[in-house]
Structure 1
């Protein structure tokens, strides 16, 4: 039966190189202008033109995981070099490996560093093979099992790919495309991404040739076969916060991963991990996390002679060494279109919540006074994640914030007292790939709703108002592919909405206030993969549901007094991006805010309570997302949006212009 499964050298030098850790400072920045390939002959093995692995390892046609092996938790990591994953994506990888997720890490380049190894007399073909051995040892350590692997060749999109499967934990698999990294001759992975269509790169083991599209085909095939629920890539748009640039291979690999992800349509989460530009950020891992991350990296480093060159073991990985310093932190690239939450506190002030790009934690800012245009400095609620927060009020007025962690579990933090400090994050468990939705039941108990990785909707409810939490329960129905949304109806029953895998919007209601659930009903429609239903409540208590259509326009359907639903209607012809934001005015009318395709904020409002709709109003501005809209202490709606300059802006009903306040 379906169920929500519960799981138990200096930086400036390194930036020039094809691997993350080569201390050689005289390597040419442009490999095409470096030493000719003829001079590399002494460093290439005699059989370098033959592919001994393809002919000696078994060729297996499928890498599909057994149905019950992964517990609906599959992670795929796509990185440029061996060690990028260990430095920039941990402790996430350690966490999911130890929680028995299925983990596939794809290394696009061999990390061969042809020119750097030549300068110090290292056989660069042996060097990149040793780096792969280091990765296997590191993953075995993370899994807590013997470093014994089954080496096989799997076919993805017609390419034979070297794959290592951890024998004592076959959930863990490493794949090596072995393209040339940017500090090497020939057509490198970076050149495949940046160069003209039709360029061909050859794997260093001569197993395959790749065009740019063929690399994308392999990655898409890996995501599909692995049934990835969490896709992890490097930073596609690294911002130079303190002058430190990122490695070009990191960005190219991230763009390959992002492009492949866009063609992978199964419900899943995309997480971008920051690389070199996290160098000057504060350390945000605990001492235990740092110690474990350092120990894992040292396990790898024992195979990589460049990390502590000349080779002296791994003693150089100590405080002050940049590998150690990177092991003290983990940061994420936050999509500026992600949004956040806006709520009103009991004292009338508004509070805005976002996940910060510089903090990779939940941050809160509160108005200096009710109705004020000034806002207090950010309060850091800690945590280490990249997902959209959901904030709701408990029965006693205290706030509760929910977030999906990077391992797929749900976490919650609550205010100690209204408007005061916050408690530590507490795990609610689960394995989910949706943004949580939260709503109070008629008796005041708070419920949180998620879409599990099996496509079902699950709910967890406080045992008493403001109290501890019960277990997860399924609200069984068809397969769903969107975030859930919940709202109380006029009878005091919670009503759920979600988009089905067939593109239709479905709804289900409690059979009685605080009670069980009826049967899901299709409201029809054919909405796209990014469509998220958003409910609103009319003054008379009837619910309406709003969703962005495949044509980019706003569609709406409403409850009838007989208990049924009217037909879908389109609210004029404005095209917008992302999901709509629905708010209630104090006069009882509903108002919907969107970000237009030109970047301005627009709204559409009912002509009177429970009635038809006025034409759209354009409020102007240039924004990446609308975060929320809530009535302020005077009853005027206040809209909060994120500008293209990365600052937050507010606009209150009656104001002519937007006013900026903080940068996330």
Structure 2
């Protein structure tokens, strides 16, 4: 009896708890189960390896979908990193939670749970105030980035079983994955996707992290098994750091915010995120992907030929035929300059894992006794097994490095290398991107001589400092304006507001905008859907705080403005600004912003011409009349191999354009740098063109043209002046003419940097008949060159 009584009481207690649970469910349904988010706009599923891959390489694609009303699910396959402790796994997840809260613009407060997907435990995070954001952490062990064990590769290629880190906060048992169970889990996650993002499957370790590659290959393989076709995008990772910037303005600033928020937790170093001197900062301003559909069934690897571009020599690796050594040659886009890195069978994580195959001959490049030659490809031939590296290095089969010396291919040991031993699969690469500029030149002191002005990124956030360097020997740069924009990793709003001047979203123009004889600095930023022009007046000793000079309407947004230049005519001392606006039909139209003659700043469309291309460059030349201004538009000709020049200008109250001329074939769109005199009031209307010199002794050739109808004249050859990583300028003071080069000092780089070196300003006296190929002055600046480059033009 006593036993039965205890049984009845236990049954009554259990029934009571059940009734309370049912009542609570109906009375408090929100507490029992969160409302499902509205995903009617679409669901984007991103599958990456590590917890920063999505932030560095996929963004801003994820935030664009979220802000368009989509649901976004991000799957991180790897927990922590190679050999990481569980504490580090949790720290990285803390960083990604903080970053996604900022990306969504809500408080960092998440619902956490361990759920089962296809029978395996997965740690799920969902933002409470924005439930359309979901993170899924599989917490698989990570692999070594540059040689060593790659667990994901062992699972996929060798049939290994992987044990994850614990789930929850360590109190829940880990999962165990095989190739089949991982495929089943991913398939369940991907089934609801209307868009899939992942990394690049079609590359080799160690060009990209092995974890990146296997995450992408697994995702593609599983996605192709879905019952319906889904658009899928593959994002390139490490190599993009040496590719041209393709994110700018607000996109770049927001991405820096989110990445810096993450790294404030993982490592604590946010300075590198706001710069271009370290890899994380390099990747932030770049996003490269190719689109496909899951309906197109692909193997694990699809070889895609590309160039191997050596930026230090401005040349491409070219096939010379079977049995012969490849050569360095001027890049021409031919099949002889296309190469594929083809994977070779090896244990995941081992080096010597790729063959260098010519797209022209189908032959592999082999190394014998320090000499290269093309030969028939052999799967197991050691002399054909290379190790391409993620930061642009190429290790030969004998573990030497491939590079350039004196215009020729060279093999040497891999210590103390400069950019001569850095290669890019894309041309132009960062060092040869003609859209970037560093120093500007004008008379900012009012003393009748130009000074160099450069803008430098700050390490404490997205702001910048402005320095003025007088061109006389012994002078040191002086900071004329400090623009600190503090970064708060715990904020949920953008660091760069509409009235904040931030480096990535700003462009800069020098000119005397108030008519006092001193050049001022105009900082141009996006604002209110249009463009804000912020004037920093020169006092002769510094720049005053910015004042809003003009706010445009939405017809001239910064995102479509190819270029800004300052100009004036002889009748009006105050400068105005000429804008080249890109049109939707790949054309361009010209606008002007400035004083309308009544003391009011106005904007106006001034010239439309069907010949203007979206990628033109504007050059201001000397005004020839009291009420005139003269310009040149230089752009690729219709066939793309030549440069077209269109003169245009303002006179007698009207804008007009002249006839098109073609420059000689030596001047090609991708390799010609232009400069005009930076003191047009007392100079001629010459333009100077700088091109690389491919014949001995190398360097650059500098040409001058005073009349576009006449052939340019060779002004000087500078054998010691590199074409890459430099910006030429023609400076004029009184009767003295100087050719200045603002450039990077070549520096020894370690294996994990794309670039490095201080900024240097060299001046050549081109008035001299002899000895003008040697600099008359050299100023070493206390600035890292990469930190002073900004985007002058949108398109090249």
Q: TM-score, normalised by structure 2?
A: 0.35
Higher strand share: 2
Answer with 1 or 2: which has the greater Rg.
2
